Structure 1
Amino acid sequence: MSDIYQHFRKDEEPFIDQVLEWKQIVADQYRMKLTDFLDPREQVILNSLVGQPDEVKLGFFGGFSEAERKRAILYPEYAEPSAEDFQLQAYEVLYPQKFASIEHRELLGSLMGIGLKRQKFGDLIYAGGIWQFVCSEEVADFVFSQLGQIGKVKVSLEKIPLSKLKVPEQDVEIMDDTVSSLRLDSVCSAVSRLSRQKAQALVKNGLVKVNWKVIEDPSYSLAEGDKLSVRGFGRFTLKSIDGKTKKGKWRLTFEKQK
């Protein structure tokens, strides 16, 4: 068991334990196991712990193919999950768009304010003044009955099929770089084109988030699937770690959101 943990960060161990428990349930009971919404890093961990040749298979879906947050289904070999098995519900937020505006943080804060965890919600989508979001089917009716205001704006919700989601166009720039280490300050230096010293100051001043959490430790180690937000420089996804160069530097591939 300790051999598994050594490939991951200390703070990821509880999630690893959860994944191993899910996997055991599927293997022992020959039934599907549906998870809550997972962020990209959690998806990478789950994918690495449930191998392709394994008796337990794995599928992801978040309402549309480009979704960032997705639910996962672990299932036995004989089963083949459908889109309905992921139990997703989409909503459109109705509000007076000509007289009011809603920010992403306000919508997310209001959803959390009704007493549900972030894991019950998928992507929040904004297009042409319209806000939509995806949630777990099991909490859909509760969300519908409880969400009546976002910030100072009175709102109502309309159930919509997943096919009506206004999927945003993916406008990303692929970046390849090499870094001396996977430390947060080193990677921040690469994506921001700042010196290591200046990047370290950004981290220590609370201007850098990893997977939506402020991390102030410059030595924090990054991993595949991590979302990196550097204030003033944008959002990046560490898509892959592609081994080392002859000089011992790490080859990395990023996606930068434009």
Structure 2
Amino acid sequence: MDKHALLKRYCQPDEKLLLAKVLDQADLSLRKHIVSFSDFLSPSETAMACEVLNKVSDTKFLVFGGYDESERKMISIFPDYFDENDAAFPISAVEISYNVKFSSGLSHRDFLGSILGLGIQRDKVGDIVVTDECATCFVESGISEYIVSGLERVGRTKVDTKIIEINNDIVPQKNMVTKSITVASLRSDAVFGAVFGESRSNIQQLINSEKASVNWMPVKSSSASVKEGDVLSLKGGGRGIILSVNGETKKGRISITIGKYV
């Protein structure tokens, strides 16, 4: 494994540090014949790590964050002769509940701040899904019992904590609104403008400012093409996904179906 060559295109020190650690885990998996795991990574970090790992021979990897639509995820890395079922992720779900009669409502920031206040590092905590009377926090399994025993309050609100089973129903499904639109082409500036209701010139400025992302990676050029299945993110504008590219209309435009979470 030529780590230097794999990291050559990454310029930012924090990116190189992260990816070097991921490559070290891949090397460890190959040398020791074991499954290794990353910490929880942000969407952009996950995208970069997957990009690098795709270039490492003799390994496979999986990503998971506790539920299908999670944003922060762990990566499991293992030799390519391993069965994928052997890569059981060390992720636990901690439910933090409270009585809404004695609180005006707790936010994601409240829950995260209280967990980190226990001395826990951010990369040990995945998504925190907040509902009306509780939050479900996905964390590295090794710290779940510590959170349950140590977290008594979120802000000034008394809370109860327990570890719950991870299953398909653990997080409420997000509502997605779908819409069919037409675009002049599949260029990034054309599609972003149509999806987010911005002028093409505004979108080009946002792309130049690295505020537009495809699959959590900054768009490098306004002329870069997007495709079916791509997730589009605009800073301050939300997120959309290209569900399908339906072909050309009679007027020579391209019909696409997009989805946006509400």
**Is the structural similarity TM-score above 0.5?**
yes
Structure 1 residue 96 displacement after superposition: 0.7
1:90·1:165 contact (CA, 8 Å) conserved in 2?
A: no
User: What percentage of residue pairs aligned between the two structures are identical?
Assistant: 23
Structure 1 residue 39 displacement after superposition: 2.1
Structure 1 residue 155 displacement after superposition: 0.9
Cα deviation per residue 1:53-92 (whole Å; 9 max; x = unaligned)?
A: 9311112222222222222211113323548831221111
Work out the CA distance in 1 between the residues paired with 2:210 and 2:79: 40
The number of residue pairs the alignment matches comes to: 230
Are positions 1:95 and 2:90 aligned together?
Answer: no
1:127·1:166 contact (CA, 8 Å) conserved in 2?
A: no
1:179·1:190 contact (CA, 8 Å) conserved in 2?
A: no
**TM-score normalized by structure 2?**
0.69
Partner of 2:67: 64
Partner of 1:108: 112
Work out the CA distance in 1 between the residues paired with 2:191 and 2:100: 40
Are positions 1:218 and 2:209 aligned together?
Answer: yes
**TM-score normalized by structure 1?**
0.70
Partner of 2:170: 166
Q: Give the superposed CA RMSD.
A: 3.8
More divergent stretch after superposition (46-55 vs 89-98): 46-55
1:224·1:239 contact (CA, 8 Å) conserved in 2?
A: no
The equivalences for 1:1-258 within 5 A come to 3-5=5-7, 7-8=9-10, 10=12, 11-51=14-54, 54-82=57-85, 85-100=88-103, 101-163=105-167, 166-173=170-177, 192-195=196-199, 218=209, 222=213, 224-226=215-217, 228=233, 230-231=235-236, 233=237, 235-236=238-239, 256-258=260-262
Work out the CA distance in 1 between the residues paired with 2:210 and 2:95: 41
Work out the CA distance in 2 between the residues paired with 1:122 and 1:29: 27
Structure 1: stretches of 5+ with no match in the other structure: 204-216, 243-251
Q: Which structure has the greater CA radius of gyration? A: 2
